[in-house]
Amino acid sequence: MKVALAGAGGRMGRTLIEALLADRELTLGCAFDVPGSPAVGTKAGAVTIGADSAAAASCDVLIDFTRPEGTLANLKHARAMVIGTTGFSATQRQALADAAQRIPIVMAANFAVGVNAAYKLAETAARILGDSYDVEIIEAHHRHKADAPSGTALKLGEVVAQALKRELPKVARHGRQGETGERPAKEVGFHAIRGGDIVGEHTVLFAGAGERVEITVRSQSRATYAMGALRAAKWLRGKAPGLYDMFDVLGLR
């Protein structure tokens, strides 16, 4: 399979290039970044990094970990797509859903296999513990991350809320300050930490009377995200148009 890579000059892009060049089943067919990026014109293996996303049309799948606007612009050139971009608005998510009617897309808040195992564990814990346990989600990332809370934290919240039969937009609470009053029983709290070079840490805390259950996953390298993205790219071979996620890729449905 020939792979196109968006955002080749970014931190995640460089990690994906390294993983792709080491993979025996995938070939880096093209790589590109935004015009003016220092990466444009440099080499990624035998490929010269360009500034035109149209080159993705010659590849079997496009991997995109960029920004929402860039991802949406790249959609029109892709034959299949792996999307790790986060921070989409409701309107942008609808555009992705529309695109999935013509091409297969795997989109996930986090491609690390361990993180997806944490999703499943959080879902199971929520069903077992029920409404008698308060739910708080704490995440930490490097100081350069542009969105908060992280897509992974929001996905954890969605998984837990669905298991508890709650509508997340109605029960989510992002941080606390001042005279907040007593905590509502069905609230799902989110807390975002930003600093240094933290790759990614997420904890779902279930606090009950007399005990606390915590599910924590810490990513020590972006390589975990890259390996999951490559696994998703391979899984897309021959798939029908549709919007898939890592639960589909890993058989966790």
pLDDT of residue 30 exceeding 90, the answer is yes
Percent of the residues in the chain that have a pLDDT greater than 70, as a whole number: 100
Residue 49 banded pLDDT, cuts 50, 70, 90: very high
What is the model's pLDDT at position 7?
Answer: 97
Mean predicted confidence (pLDDT) in 16-43: 97
Mean predicted confidence (pLDDT) in 161-174: 98
Peptide bond before 104: cis, by omega within 30 degrees of 0? no
Q: What architecture does CATH give domain 113-219?
A: 2-Layer Sandwich (3.30)
| Predicted confidence (pLDDT) per residue in 190-221, tens digit | 999 999 999 999 999 999 999 999 999 999 98
- Ranges in the chain annotated CATH 3.40.50.720: 2-111+222-250
pLDDT of residue 222 exceeding 90, the answer is no
pLDDT of residue 110 exceeding 90, the answer is no
CATH of domain 2-111+222-250: 3.40.50.720
Concatenate the DSSP letters of all residues of the chain into one string: -EEEEESTTSHHHHHHHHHHHH-SS-EEEEEE--TT-TTTT-EETTEEPBS-GGGGGGSSEEEE-S-HHHHHHHGGG-SSEEE------HHHHHHHHHHTTTSEEEE-S---HHHHHHHHHHHHHHHHHGGGSEEEEEEEE-TT--SSS-HHHHHHHHHHHHHTT--HHHHEEE---SS--SPPTT-EEEEEEE-TT--EEEEEEEEETTEEEEEEEEE--THHHHHHHHHHHHHTTTPPSEEE-HHHHHT--
pLDDT of residue 252 exceeding 90, the answer is no
For residue 221, give every residue at least 6 positions away whose Cβ sits within 8 Å of its Cβ, in sequence order, or none.
15, 199
What is the model's pLDDT at position 229?
Answer: 97
**Average per-residue pLDDT for the chain:** 96
What is the model's pLDDT at position 197?
Answer: 94
Residue 87 banded pLDDT, cuts 50, 70, 90: confident
* pTM for this model (two decimals): 0.81
Residue 155 banded pLDDT, cuts 50, 70, 90: very high
Catalytic residues: 141, 145
pLDDT of residue 109 exceeding 90, the answer is no
| Predicted confidence (pLDDT) per residue in 119-138, tens digit | 999 999 999 999 999 999 99
